[in-house]
């Protein structure tokens, strides 16, 4: 079997760690070409010593210097590079077969695009790239013949429930799906009294009942903006209109999503909530391989429940549908405003209940334009960040 050479963008994060855990179980099958991180030197040092990549990229220049010194002292041969340009370079390097796109937020867009343009197998965890510029990313995949495989657990589940041979980004794929059921756990505040939302702390928001994830996506899960971003992601990945997708609350996170067909069949993918399953699925596809995940025990798993999410509890979900309806750059605006608001909330500069307020005001302030170039997307992103920043400052005055 040919060894797959892998670049992991965002290797020090939650998805990066799970990916390395899966890869380490199959040393004859995978080799790590490059690892990348923002500035976590200690974790990157450990990863370099354990996985011996050819290249390690630290976006932060001081962190790159510190890593270089630490690795030299350990006799490592890994070449250390600095800056965000290097992210795209290790994503498109000719010897690389597959790229795990697991940087959080809009920072993941350019290197993910680079991997798609270079025709790699793109394992897409970074949903923000599709939300910002689904049109450009899918176009790049089509033109280069890249293989795009979803890592987000719901989208990976949907992919597994679509007919064999379904290819993301092929121009016409009549897969006959009548409805896609996108499951959502409802996060930590599913039952919390609504009048206490203003006092929610970052640690409360990051304590997800079923999944262990990075802080940004944990807050997104608590507001359910994560599900909103996932609705947008699903529209692009599976070439369906928003009305085909129905979000359903499923607190146990055992059914990762479902596809309903014209004949009345509903196909579901089930498993324990552990990201190593979708990661191993996409790494091995179309084969299957060991992931380290405990098998699901149907006899002990208990009840599976499904219900409709309350609109008043999760206004962020409605905002995502609104942005989809406006189309063009509106979803990039939604994403940028959300990133700014979540960052401010995590830094205790914004109340939890103000997150959707900031996003709604930013969406209303910027006219959607067609996504015909990367520049257009980046300019909408910049504009939205500036306006959301002002909204945060104003909201803060009201809060304090």
Which residue in 130, 172, 134 sits closest to 151, CA to CA? Answer: 130
Q: How far is the CB of 110 from ligand NAD (least distance, A)?
A: 10
The SS3 of residue 141 is: helix
Interaction of residue 102 with ligand NAD, rule CB under 6 A: yes
Which residue in 316, 323, 321, 319 sits closest to 367, CA to CA? Answer: 323
Buried b (16+ CB within 10 A) or exposed e, 232-265: bbbbbbbbbeeebbebbbbbbbbbbbbbbbeeee
Phi, psi dihedral angles at 269 (to 5 degrees) = -115, 130
Interaction of residue 128 with Mg ion, rule CB under 5 A: no
Q: Which of 275, 279, 336, 355 binds ligand NAD (CB under 6 A)?
A: 275
Residues in contact with 256: Cβ distance below 8 Å, sequence separation at least 6, in sequence order: 153, 154, 156, 157, 183, 268, 269, 270, 271, 278
Choose among ligand NAD, Mg ion, none what residue 125 binds, the Cβ cut-off being 5 to 8 Å by kind.
ligand NAD
Q: How far is the CB of 198 from ligand NAD (least distance, A)?
A: 25
Q: Which two tokens stand for residue 141?
A: 């995949």
**Cα separation, 242 vs 131, whole angstroms:** 13
* Interacting positions 244-263 with ligand NAD (CB under 6 A): none
Distance of CA 295 to the CA centre of its chain: 24
Q: Which of 70, 93, 114, 152 binds ligand NAD (CB under 6 A)?
A: 152
Binding mask 145-184 for Mg ion (x = CB under 5 A): -------xxx------------------------------
Interaction of residue 12 with ligand NAD, rule CB under 6 A: yes
Q: Which is nearer to ligand NAD, 32 or 102 (CB)?
A: 102
Binding mask 317-356 for ligand NAD (x = CB under 6 A): ----------------------------------------
Cβ atoms within 10 Å of 20's Cβ, excluding its own: 21
Select the residue whose beta carbon is closest to ligand NAD and give its number.
Answer: 13
Q: Which is nearer to Mg ion, 133 or 153 (CB)?
A: 153
Interaction of residue 104 with ligand NAD, rule CB under 6 A: yes
Choose among Mg ion, ligand NAD, none what residue 213 binds, the Cβ cut-off being 5 to 8 Å by kind.
ligand NAD
Task: Find out whether the peptide bond into 286 is cis, omega within 30 degrees of 0.
Answer: yes
Q: Which is nearer to ligand NAD, 208 or 395 (CB)?
A: 208
Q: How far is the CB of 39 from ligand NAD (least distance, A)?
A: 7
Q: How far is the CB of 262 from ligand NAD (least distance, A)?
A: 30
Interaction of residue 91 with ligand NAD, rule CB under 6 A: no
Question: Angle at Cα 340 formed by Cα 139 and Cα 214, nearest 5°?
Answer: 80
Q: How far is the CB of 113 from ligand NAD (least distance, A)?
A: 14
Task: Yes or no: say if 169 and 178 are a contact pair by the CB < 8 Å rule.
Answer: no
Q: Which is nearer to Mg ion, 153 or 218 (CB)?
A: 153
The SS3 of residue 111 is: helix
Q: Which of 128, 339, 354, 381 binds ligand NAD (CB under 6 A)?
A: 128
* Interacting positions 188-217 with ligand NAD (CB under 6 A): 211, 213-214, 216-217
Q: How far is the CB of 274 from Mg ion (least distance, A)?
A: 13
- Looking at the chain, how many residues does it have? 400
Q: Which two tokens stand for residue 44?
A: 């990157």
**Cα separation, 376 vs 386, whole angstroms:** 16
Q: Which is nearer to ligand NAD, 60 or 139 (CB)?
A: 60
- CA atoms within 13 A of residue 355's CA, in its CB half-sphere: 36
Residues forming the site for Mg ion (CB under 5 A): 152-154
Q: Which residues are at the interface with ligand NAD (CB under 6 A)?
A: 10-16, 37-38, 40, 59, 102-104, 107, 125-128, 152, 211, 213-214, 216-217, 275
């Amino acid at each position: 079997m040919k060894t797959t050479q892998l670049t992991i963008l965002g290797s020090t994060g939650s998805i990066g760690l799970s990916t390395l855990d899966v890869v380490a179980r199959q040393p004859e099958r995978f080799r790590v070409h490059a690892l990348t991180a923002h500035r976590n030197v200690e974790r990157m040092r450990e990863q370099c010593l354990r996985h011996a990549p050819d290249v390690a990229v630290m976006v932060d220049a001081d962190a790159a210097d510190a890593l270089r010194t630490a690795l030299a002292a350990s006799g490592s041969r890994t070449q250390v590079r600095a800056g965000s340009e290097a992210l795209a370079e290790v994503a498109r390097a000719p010897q690389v077969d597959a790229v795990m796109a697991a940087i959080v937020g809009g920072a993941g867009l350019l290197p993910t695009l680079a991997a798609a343009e270079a025709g790699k197998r793109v394992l897409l965890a970074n949903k923000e790239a599709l939300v910002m510029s689904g049109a450009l990313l899918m176009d790049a995949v089509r033109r280069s013949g890249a293989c795009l495989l979803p890592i987000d657990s719901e989208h990976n589940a949907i992919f597994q429930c679509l007919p064999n041979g379904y290819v993301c980004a092929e121009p016409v794929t009549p897969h006959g799906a009548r409805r896609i059921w996108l499951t959502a756990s409802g996060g930590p505040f599913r039952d919390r009294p609504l009048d206490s939302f203003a006092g929610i702390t970052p640690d409360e928001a990051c304590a997800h009942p079923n999944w262990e994830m990075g802080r940004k996506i944990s807050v997104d899960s608590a507001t359910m903006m994560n599900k909103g971003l996932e609705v947008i992601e699903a529209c692009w990945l599976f070439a369906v209109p928003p009305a085909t997708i129905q979000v359903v609350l499923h607190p146990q996170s055992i059914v990762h999503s479902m596809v309903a067909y014209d004949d009345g069949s509903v196909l579901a993918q089930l498993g324990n909530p552990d990201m190593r399953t979708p990661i191993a699925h996409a790494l091995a596809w179309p084969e299957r391989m060991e992931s380290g995940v405990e098998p699901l025990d149907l006899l002990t798993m208990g009840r599976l429940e499904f219900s409709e999410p309350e609109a008043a509890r999760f206004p962020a979900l409605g905002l995502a549908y609104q942005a989809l309806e406006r189309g063009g750059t509106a979803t990039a605006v939604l994403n940028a405003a959300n990133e700014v608001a979540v960052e401010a909330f995590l830094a205790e500069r914004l109340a939890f209940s103000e997150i959707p307020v900031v996003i709604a005001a930013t969406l209303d302030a910027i006219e959607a334009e067609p996504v015909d170039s990367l520049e257009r997307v980046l300019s909408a992103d910049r504009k939205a960040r500036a306006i959301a920043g002002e909204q945060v400052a104003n909201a803060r005055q009201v809060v304090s």
